[in-house]
Structure 1
Amino acid sequence: MSDMAKNLILWLVIAVVLMSVFQSFSPSEPSGRQTDYTTFVQEVAQGQIREVRMDGKTINGVKRSGDRFTTILPAEDPQLLNDLLNNNVRVVGEKPEEPSLLTSIFISWFPMLLLIGVWIFFMRQMQGGGGKGAMTFGKSRARLMSEDQVKTTFADVAGCDEAKEDVKELVDYLRDPSRFQKLGGRIPTGILLVGPPGTGKTLLAKAIAGEAKVPFFTISGSDFVEMFVGVGASRVRDMFEQAKKSAPCIVFIDEIDAVGRQRGAGLGGGHDEREQTLNQMLVEMDGFEGNEGVIVIAATNRPDVLDPALLRPGRFDRQVVVGLPDVRGREQILKVHMRRVPLADDVNASVIARGTPGFSGADLANLVNEAALFAARSARRLVSMEEFEKAKDKIMMGAERRSMVMSESEKEMTAYHEAGHAIVGRMVPEHDPVYKVSIIPRGRALGVTMYLPEQDRFSYSKQHLESMISSLYGGRLAEEIIYGFDKVTTGASNDIERATEIAHKMVTQWGLSEKMGPLLYADEEGEVFLGRTAAKVKHMSDETAKAIDAEVKDVIERNYQRAKNILMENIDILHAMKEALMKYETIDARQIDDLMARRDVRAPADWKDEQDDKPQGPAASTGEQKEEKADETKAASPELNKPGDATSN
């Protein structure tokens, strides 16, 4: 019998009981015609009444003609009984009807029962409803998907070939367990999928279930812990009991770090509800009772915070890394998502893949979706390469804010700022090529300089890092050279923050300082999050800290001066690039090549302006600054006006 039928029967029974109770409370219908007391007295005197029955103030009687009647005694009447007896009326006295014991108890307890019912109703609502009331706190929240419900297969997963190879033997085991058992082999009982967000960990787990055709239980780590003590452990027990009944099956726990964090970390103590839930999970995965046929797959992007007991062999035997895809993987992912989109003939997935280094699977899915939306806004039937370029710019640089009004002087300063980033980025060695420069406000920045790596990078040299520091200071230096130190704006705040962070890590973490040597210098910090104490731990002396500060400052000043020298030597290119940005607002790599070669800047392919001439190259530029126009009202708050947040992937 389904839950809906059970609930229907329950409510029908409650309705019948309530109707019976209300029926007992309702007054009884009169046994005859209602008549007034005056008429009744007159009929008694005339001898028309044969019999009366008196119940308190209610008088029910029968006339000599056989008609029945009812009347109410309005007040005490001492003469009534004598009149009835003198006129030969038969008088019968009846005891007033009293409510039953059950009715009396119900009336006295009805308010309390009503409060209890309201409390149970709200408790059911707090626990999410859907049949999970106050008595089902300890039941598992895992959702069961049968083998026919999971349609995802390995063909829907791309960009992580190594991870698929690691989990394919799970599918082989679930299809044919005897193949492994006859050789004494034991399949891993737990697999931990580790990787950055958006790389397809959950999708890979669903593909395993879809390929193996077995029941698939899915639950989030946060679904275990509740406000009541012991609920999480009870839900873990119930989940594994259900899984054993459906074995062989897969239990997928998403974001397991919500419940599997290292025990003893923090101030909760051993009685912390989360730790009790973790202890029960450890026992269920590898305790006295085995879980034959139950394979636990968990996903997290924070493996460093998990408890060591959870990662030992016998529980999560294998860690499968689902990393960011390479260029070939990105191409495969794009082709998977492009199946649902009508494409134009000029769309080339390999070109898009080369231009999106560092993108995860989720980023690429978003890229295809944004391109489709751009095509829909333009009322096009096919998605072309132009829409994919617009979508890539929106994701990498932010959405354009063309409605934002900038004064001409502020727009010019932004152009110099971004030109400084671009010129220094092109002149320093081992720096990523400049992809695009724009002074159209995007996101929280007034302008953006984009660098696009030629290939995927997995490590960075000292020369590359110092070049990044130099290019980050290019925007601030351009403002200082053109307008003077007194008029330098706050737009370089993010650049300074990122440059300082890189220099500090070079000295303290990456061993790229000859003076400090290849040592790790950790700052003074507390260990509440990962350790077992709230005390501060000091890892270096005061003299070492001073030496680190001096070395970081030396790295910054050295690259700051290098960037300044580059801009001073190429001041003509700086002025010419500013003019191009003021003209076109956005310039790409080809136009930047023209500027760096001191040629006339070619116009964009879709540029339509026959009245104005093209901006001249640096060789023909006078280099004189334009006079500033009157400032217009700013359309955003000062903290959002950040010209030249140089973006680098």
Structure 2
Amino acid sequence: MSNHFRNFALWVVIALLLIALFQLFQNPGQRTNTSDISFSQFLTEVRQGNVRAVTIQQRDITGTYNSGGRFSTYAPEGANNYIDTLDSQGVTIRAEPPNDGISIWGILATWFPMLLILGIWLFLMRQMQGGGAGKAMGFGKSKAKLLNEAHGRVLFEDVAGVDEAKEDLQEIVDFLKDPSRFQKLGGKIPRGVLLVGPPGTGKTLLARAIAGEANVPFFSISGSDFVEMFVGVGASRVRDMFEQAKKNAPCIIFIDEIDAVGRHRGAGLGGGNDEREQTLNQLLVEMDGFEANEGIILIAATNRPDVLDPALLRPGRFDRQIVVPNPDLVGREKILKVHVRKVPLAPDVNLKVLARGTPGFAGADLANLVNEAALLAARRNKRLVTHQEFEDAKDKVMMGAERRTLVMSEDEKKLTAYHEAGHALVALHMPASDPIHKATIIPRGRALGMVMRLPESDRVSLSRAKCKADLAVAMGGRVAEELIFGHEKVTSGASGDIKMATKLARAMATQFGMSDELGPLLYGENEEEVFLGHSVARNQNVSEKTQEAVDREVKRFVNEGYETALAVIKTNLDDLHTVAKGLLEYETLTGDEIRDLLKGKPPVRESADDDSPPRASTVPPTGAHKPRPPANEGGWEPQPS
């Protein structure tokens, strides 16, 4: 029921209620003063001249006395001569036709309270079911939405950057188009396919592309749509969803975020009566139970495969697990080509350069990058999106929006400039460090300044030299503050660097096997507990003696980075002053401009043709986005200073 129809029905009910009340209670004072008299008394009052007017309806007589009072009586059958008596006394006579039936208003007044109560009950029942299936008792109806070509058909050509995943899924498309090709050789199509990958890599888009390529019905639902407060509702919805799918077979059912309902059983409260576990049990039966659902392919997506129940992942249910990773350089270029189809580009836009400068970006990140560039071009009143808009949008996505309205004192600017110059100088002198993309003292996001580095190519692992270089670069800001402003003038600006360095050093000691004292062993994964509103990390799988050794190694790694940064900056103190003065003058420097400054060549600036601040004449080098951790890095993610 639409909101417009519901509002209209409500006003109709209110209007009918008002009319019924008006008809029922109009002239209440006159109705209560009416008295019933006998017919003989009525004739007596007429002969005495006390009656002013009467109304005759068949044998019902109502009238009004000269004094204003009202009366009613009933004439006997055959008594018609009283009309002459009324006429002779000058009484006003009014005749009305007979009443053929009961008044509609009387019926409405009698039944309206019952109808009103029934309507309120139906409304409350619809609200309680959460708009499920359009029926008052439709709690157990599935919320799966059936999509087809009318809702926008997606093909494999619309999904880029995941070529390996598309090859694995092409077999499902071929089976849906021609099942006999596989069945005549005894082959069976997988009942379930689990798409695993980080957020934003295109898992949902891949599922829609399978349905678009095969041109079959596509049911889409979220894992959270199965879970309700009433036990048994989720299982009922699973049954109803598969019943709908059987009627449209062959078809595809896509469950997004299946970890909401498919978590390991027994891990939560409630035991076997838990609503989520009942829903999972029904899903297991429907996928591979006593009766097989032929022609129904279940595709699910999650970024947490480690929490799924083992019974859900066994062959016969989710036979295949397809990893949808972040795209590589070639994949990012293809994704950018898909997203810029409707964007008017200037001739200087090079998508390969943009792809090289965005390592670790997922498909959703690249779509956001293109959208931000288009918005920037529109704000600058340009007809085409140029390379500069993409560079500015990339800086905004990676480092945050500029906060030029933040007022900083000269001392704070100077301290920030030397802090960032320390990071940049150490990065230039560490061969294993990533190249500098950009250094700025303009506040962006939550940082007052930052030095961004970008790898020259996609990285899938970290070397020991790279880790030590990152530790030295992280300590460069604190070292520069101490050397220039003194030990007592050190600020809290290096807190983010210290946090990143400690996290990396702990990963080197406990996960990467880079400690000579601890050896190539995994020393228990840190488990976080919530205690008094704070997250407390503890290590349950090591002894106190081993934990002390781990802490010593973490401190040693960080101190080595500190000593390395101290040696580099002391040796190149003049270069530190040069970079800091350049940052104070230009506020933002690219990696090439920093290297030119150290060679005595100042950067050349030109005014932009819009209201944006002046920019460098050279295109910033492909370099530095905040790197995303590879799968074997233990979750470490370096943060900009």
TM-score normalized by structure 2? 0.80
Counterpart-to-counterpart distance in 1, 2:390 and 2:26: 81
Aligned-CA RMSD value: 4.1
**How far did 1:589 drift?**
1.3
CA distance in 1 between counterparts of 2:502 and 2:508 reads 10
Letter in 2 for 1:334: L
Q: Deviations over 1:195-223 (max 9, x none)?
A: 11111111111111111000010001111
Is the Cα–Cα contact under 8 Å of residues 217 and 251 in structure 1 kept in the other structure? yes
Q: Contact 1:147 / 1:214 at 8 angstroms: preserved in 2?
A: no
User: Aligned partners of 1:479, 1:485: CA distance in 2, in Å?
Assistant: 8
User: In the superposition, relative to structure 1, how do residues 130 and 286 fare at CA in structure 2: closer, same or farther (>3 Å)?
Assistant: closer
Q: Which residue identity lines up with residue 503 of structure 1 in the other structure?
A: A
Partners of 1:512 and 1:426 in 2: how far apart?
Answer: 24
CA distance change for structure 1 residues 386 and 41 in 2, over 3 Å: closer, same or farther? same
Name 2:441's counterpart in structure 1.
439
* Distance in structure 2 (CA, Å) of the matches to 1:48 and 1:601: 119
Give CA-to-partner distance per residue, 1:401-428, whole Å, 9 cap, x none: 1111111110111000100111111112
Alignment-mate amino acid for residue 304 of structure 1: D
The runs of 5 or more residues in structure 1 that have no matched partner are 53-58, 91-96, 529-535, 609-644
- Alpha-carbon spacing, 1:580–1:45, altered in 2? closer, same or farther (3 Å): same
* In 2: Cα distance, 1:585 partner to 1:49 partner: 105
Alignment-derived partner of residue 70 in structure 1: 63
| 8 Å contact from structure 2 (residues 197, 203) kept in 1 | yes
Q: Give distance in 1, aligned partners of 2:246 and 2:269.
A: 35
- Residues of 2 paired with 1:28 and 1:582: CA distance? 86
The code of the aligned residue for 1:426 comes to L
2:607 pairs with 1:602 = no
- 1:23 shift after superposition: 9.7
Q: By how many angstroms is 1:71 displaced?
A: 2.7
Deviation, 1:479, is 0.7
Q: Which whole-Å CA distance do the structure 2 matches of 1:581 and 1:76 have between them? A: 102
1:271 — aligned with what? 273
Change (3 A) 1:435 1:576: same
Q: How many residues align?
A: 570
2:497 and 2:639 in contact (8 A); partners too: no
* 1:142-153 equivalent positions in 2, closer than 5 A: 142-153=144-155
CA distance, structure 1, for counterparts of residue 131 and residue 382 of structure 2: 46
Is the Cα–Cα contact under 8 Å of residues 214 and 249 in structure 1 kept in the other structure? Answer: yes
Pair 646,439 (structure 1): closer, same or farther in 2 beyond 3 Å: farther
Rounded to whole Å, the distance in 1 between the matches of 2:638 and 2:515 is: 25
Distance in 2 between the 1:275 and 1:525 partners?
A: 25
Closer, same or farther in 2 for the Cα pair 1:237/1:484, shift >3 Å? same
1:516 aligned residue: 518
Label 1:36 to 1:527 Cα distance change in 2 as closer, same or farther (>3 A): closer
Deviation at 1:150, TM superposition (A): 4.1
Q: Which one of 206, 223, 226 corresponds to residue 225 of structure 2?
A: 223
What is the Cα deviation at residue 374 of structure 1? 1.2
SS of the aligned residue for 2:255 comes to strand
One-letter code of the match for 1:509? Q
SS at match of 2:327: coil
**SS at structure 1 position matched to 2:341:** helix
SS, match of residue 315 in structure 2: coil
The answer for the alignment partner of 1:580 in structure 2 is 582
Contact kept, 8 Å, 1:217 with 1:250, in 2: the verdict is: yes
In 1, Cα distance between equivalents of 2:541 and 2:292:
45
Shift of 1:145: 1.3
Query: Counterpart of 1:311 in structure 2: which amino acid?
Result: L
3-state SS of 2:595 partner = helix
Supply the distance in 1 between the matched residues of 2:528 and 2:408 (Cα, whole angstroms): 45
Contact 1:421 1:646 in 2 (8 A): no
Is contact 1:190–1:315 with CA below 8 Å preserved after alignment?
yes
Between the aligned residues of both structures, percent identity stands at: 59
**Alignment partner for residue 331 of structure 2, among 329, 332, 341?**
329
Contact 2:345 2:385 in 1 (8 A): yes
Q: Report deviation, 1:647.
A: 4.3
**Greater Cα offset, 399-408 or 519-528:** 519-528
What CA deviation, in whole Å up to 9, does each residue of 1:133-177 have, x standing for no partner? 541111000000135544110110100000000001111111111
With over 3 angstroms needed to count, the CA separation of the structure-2 counterparts of 1:342 and 1:22, relative to structure 1, is same
Match of 2:176 in 1: 174
The structural deviation recorded for 1:75 is: 8.1
Question: Which SS does the other structure have where 1:282 is aligned?
Answer: helix
Q: Which residue of 1 aligns with 2:565?
A: 563
Asked if 1:125 corresponds to 2:118, the answer is no
Instruction: Give the C-alpha shift of residue 375 in structure 1.
Output: 1.1
Quick one: distance in 2 between partners of 1:149 and 1:429? 53
Q: Distance in 2 between matches of 1:537 and 1:576?
A: 46
Contact 2:132–2:141 (CA under 8 A) maintained in structure 1: no
**Could you tell me which of 338, 346, 362 is aligned with 2:364?**
362
8 A Cα contact 1:368 1:388, kept in partner: yes
Q: What is the distance in 1 between the residues matched to 2:60 and 2:189? A: 94
| CA distance 1:25–1:551, shift in 2 (3 Å) | same
Contact 1:150–1:209 at 8 Å: present in 2 too? Answer: no
- Deviation track 1:552-608 (CA, whole Å, cap 9, x = no partner) reads 111111111111111111110111111100110000011111234x42322334489
User: Residue 393 of structure 1 corresponds to which residue in structure 2?
Assistant: 395
Structure 1 residue matching 2:593: 3-state secondary structure: helix
In structure 2, the residue matched to 1:199 is 201
Q: Deviations over 1:470-515 (max 9, x none)?
A: 1011111111111111111111111100100000011111111010
Residues of 2 paired with 1:475 and 1:155: CA distance? 47
Change in 2 beyond 3 A, CA 1:607/1:474: farther
- Separation of aligned partners in 2, 1:87 and 1:103: 32
2:554 corresponds to: 552
2:540 equivalent to 1:538: yes
Q: Deviations over 1:273-319 (max 9, x none)?
A: 11111111011011011110000111111111111111111011101
Structure 1 match to 2:479:
477
- Call closer, same or farther: CA 1:105–1:274 in 2, change over 3 Å: farther
Deviations 1:98-148 (A, max 9, x none): xx9x99999899768745643542342343447635411110000001355
Q: Deviations over 1:341-391 (max 9, x none)?
A: 011111111111111111111111111111111111111111111111111
- CA distance in 2 between partners of 1:25 and 1:67 (Å): 21
Name the amino acid aligned to 1:152.
V
Aligned equivalent of 1:160: 162
One-letter amino acid of the structure 2 residue matched with residue 430 of structure 1:
A
Separation in structure 2 between the aligned mates of residue 62 and residue 561 of structure 1, nearest angstrom: 115
1:87–1:382 Cα change, 3 Å:
closer
State the match for 2:251 in structure 1: 249
Give unmatched runs, 5+ long, in structure 2: 36-41, 76-80, 87-98, 531-537, 610-636
Question: How big is each residue's C-alpha offset from its partner over 1:429-477, in whole Å with a ceiling of 9 and x where there is no partner?
Answer: 3111111000011001110110010000000011101111110111111
Q: Secondary structure at the match of 2:231?
A: coil
1:479–1:488 contact (8 Å) kept in structure 2: yes
**Retained in 2: the 8 A contact 1:335–1:349?**
yes
CA distance in 2, matches of 1:60, 1:283: 79
Decide whether aligned partners of structure 1 residues 48 and 184 sit closer, same or farther in structure 2, where only a CA change above 3 A counts.
same
Q: Does the CA-based 8 Å contact 2:436-2:591 persist in structure 1?
A: yes
CA contact (8 A) 2:64 2:70 kept: no
Larger mean CA deviation between 144-153 and 226-235 belongs to: 144-153
CA distance in 2, matches of 1:261, 1:176: 35
1:286 partner amino acid? D
CA contact (8 A) 2:433 2:466 kept: yes
1:472–1:495 CA contact under 8 A, matched in 2: yes
Amino acid at match of 1:208: I
Q: Distance in 1 between the 2:26 and 2:583 partners? A: 94
Residues of 1 paired with 2:168 and 2:48: CA distance? 110
* Counterpart amino acid of residue 600 in structure 1: K
Q: 1:231 to 1:87 in 2, by over 3 A?
A: closer
Output the amino acid matched with 1:230: G
